[in-house]
């Protein structure tokens, strides 16, 4: 069954919310814990029961993705308009720019601070920009069939009730905007089956010795005698030795059921929380390499956190308004169809960038100070090596 069919079926059964906590015995039935990837494996397809609401669930692979019901998605679509506010935008002064430059020059041992100290300011040009960031914290759910060896643990089968639908199962959420994964067994979907690997015997024939418990003696290679025609002392002339793989039993414990001959099959729900981030830095054509901008620390001047944020419309820089509109639209298309958006947050960071034009020894140069920590970018610094420059 495809995902779309599963969705419509899921919605058809929507209404009652499953809030009954998972029975304590269920947790006790999985001593190794659901976080362990080796905990459970995929059962063969002919072993799977029909569970209402889980018809599309398969065994193995990535599991079957379950779309959130429309009722959940719609509930969060309504959102408050973004608050109107007076934007206060910081500035950078000549003194700050010069101080940053001196510090920059002295921080690199091979640079002479002389030009930085002696330079004559010609001009300051602001290329201040903004970093817009949209975070959408999503939850997605998938189900798949799993099996574990059955060793007499509690079997939460269908006689305890109908299996709750994937989005009705209450799973504790991590803090907002924090990636996490949680795996839980779907209540009332467990059942026991005979292990097909060992035909319920718990043991399988050893392939190393073809179930005889004996293999060729490694000293005489199975001949029973050695090169001088003496009987092999290792195997007493039998040419055979005990099989190391099965300790001479001819049989090994079945790995699938770990010797019990029985398996417990159930549907596992995987819940993934992800913080999806889109960033945009308003283009200024300042001449500063774009990859530098990613590393610059800005000053947060706006945060808006809601179920669903609305596009920013009245920010003085129209590129920010456009970035906000595009990012919200993009996440709507990308995420809302495949997962449930729990919360969104949009922020604007102010990134001060000042280009400083100066002269030193009758030559013209320029440098940039960037970010709230006034990082300097000066590729044409005139005295890069104090060891060899004649100053
Ligand atoms: Zn031997
Ligand atoms: Zn063997
Ligand atoms: Zn088995």
Whether 305 is in a domain gets the answer: no
Output the CA 379–ligand 2 centroid distance in Å. Answer: 71
Is 299 strand, coil or helix? strand
Residue 322 has pLDDT above 80, yes or no: yes
Give the pLDDT of residue 66: 83
From residue 34, how far is each of 48, 171, 186 by CA, in Å? 20, 13, 12
Give the pLDDT of residue 11: 35
Q: How far apart are CA 205 and CA 187, in angstroms?
A: 36
From residue 185, how far is each of 155, 246, 264, 364 by CA, in Å? 11, 35, 11, 70
Whether 127 is in a domain gets the answer: no
Ligand whose nearest atom lies closest to the CA of 231 = 1
Q: How far apart are CA 300 and CA 372, in angstroms?
A: 10
Structure token pair of residue 310? 């609305």
Residue 358 has pLDDT above 70, yes or no: yes
Ligand whose nearest atom lies closest to the CA of 246 = 2
Q: How many CA atoms lie within 13 A of 325 on its CB side?
A: 8
Ligand whose nearest atom lies closest to the CA of 193 = 3
pLDDT band at 207 (very low <50, low <70, confident <90, very high): very high
In the chain, the N- to C-terminal Cα span, in Å, equals 79
- Residue 38 makes CB contacts below 8 A (sequence gap 6+) with 32
Residues with CB under 5 A from ligand 1 (ion): 217, 219-220, 232, 234-235
Give the pLDDT of residue 390: 38
Output the CA 194–ligand 3 centroid distance in Å. Answer: 8
Tell me the DSSP string of 185-227: EPTT--EEEE-TTTTTSSEEE-TTTTTSSEEE-TTTTTSSB-T
pLDDT 10s digits, 243-291 = 999 999 999 999 999 999 999 999 999 999 999 999 999 888 777 877 7
Whether 264 is in a domain gets the answer: no
Whether 80 is in a domain gets the answer: no
Ligand whose nearest atom lies closest to the CA of 43 = 3
Contact 387, 379 (CB under 8 A): no
Residue 311 has pLDDT above 90, yes or no: yes
Output the CA 106–ligand 3 centroid distance in Å. Answer: 71
* Better-scored residue on pLDDT, 83 or 294: 294
Output the CA 208–ligand 2 centroid distance in Å. Answer: 5
Ligand whose nearest atom lies closest to the CA of 216 = 1
Residue 4 has pLDDT above 60, yes or no: no
Output the CA 253–ligand 1 centroid distance in Å. Answer: 28
Least confident range from 13-17, 155-159, 369-373: namely 13-17
Nearest to 278 by CA among 202, 200, 341: 341
Output the CA 231–ligand 2 centroid distance in Å. Answer: 24
pLDDT band at 389 (very low <50, low <70, confident <90, very high): very low
Domain interval for residue 177:
3-66+142-189
Output the CA 247–ligand 2 centroid distance in Å. Answer: 7
Ligand whose nearest atom lies closest to the CA of 208 = 2
Give the pLDDT of residue 25: 38
Whether 126 is in a domain gets the answer: no
Whether 161 is in a domain gets the answer: yes
Nearest to 20 by CA among 268, 188, 192, 266: 188
Q: Indicate the average pLDDT of the chain.
A: 81
Contact 167, 72 (CB under 8 A): yes
Q: What is the domain count for the chain?
A: 1
Residue 217 has pLDDT above 70, yes or no: yes
Output the CA 217–ligand 2 centroid distance in Å. Answer: 13
Strand partners, 192: 264
Mean pLDDT of 81-88: 61
């Amino acid at each position: 069954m495809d995902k779309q069919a599963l969705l419509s079926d899921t919605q058809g059964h929507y209404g009652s919310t499953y809030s009954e906590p998972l029975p304590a015995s269920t947790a006790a039935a999985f001593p190794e814990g659901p976080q362990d990837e080796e905990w459970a494996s995929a059962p063969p397809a002919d072993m799977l029961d029909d569970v209402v609401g889980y018809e599309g669930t398969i065994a193995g692979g990535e599991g079957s993705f379950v779309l959130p019901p429309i009722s959940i998605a719609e509930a969060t679509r309504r959102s408050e308009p973004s608050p109107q506010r007076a934007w206060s935008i910081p500035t950078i002064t000549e003194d700050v720019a010069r101080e940053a430059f001196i510090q920059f020059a002295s921080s690199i041992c091979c640079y002479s601070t002389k030009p930085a100290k002696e330079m004559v300011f010609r001009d300051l040009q602001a290329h201040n920009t903004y970093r817009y960031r949209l975070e959408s914290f999503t939850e997605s759910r998938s189900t798949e069939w799993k099996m574990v060896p059955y060793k007499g643990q509690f079997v939460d089968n269908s006689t305890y009730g109908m299996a709750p639908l994937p989005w009705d199962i209450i799973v504790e959420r991590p803090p907002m905007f924090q990636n996490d994964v949680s795996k839980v067994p779907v209540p009332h979907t467990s059942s026991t089956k005979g292990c097909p690997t060992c035909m319920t015997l718990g043991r399988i024939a050893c392939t190393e010795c073809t179930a005889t418990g004996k293999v060729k003696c490694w000293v005489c290679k199975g001949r029973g005698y050695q090169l001088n025609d003496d009987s092999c002392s290792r195997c007493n002339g039998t040419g055979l030795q005990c099989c190391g793989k099965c300790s001479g039993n001819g049989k090994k414990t079945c790995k699938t059921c770990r010797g019990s001959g029985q398996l417990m099959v159930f549907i596992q729900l995987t819940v993934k929380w992800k913080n999806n981030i889109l960033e945009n830095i308003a283009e200024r054509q300042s001449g500063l390499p774009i990859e530098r901008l990613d590393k610059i620390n800005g000053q947060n001047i706006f945060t808006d956190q809601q179920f669903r944020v609305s596009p920013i419309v009245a920010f003085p820089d129209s590129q920010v308004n456009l970035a906000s509109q595009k990012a919200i639209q993009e996440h709507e298309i990308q995420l809302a169809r495949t997962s449930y958006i729990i919360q969104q947050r949009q922020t604007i960071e102010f990134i001060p960038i000042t280009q400083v034009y100066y002269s030193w020894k009758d030559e013209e140069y320029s440098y940039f100070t960037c970010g709230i920590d006034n990082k300097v970018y000066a590729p044409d610094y005139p005295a890069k090596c104090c060891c060899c420059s004649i100053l």
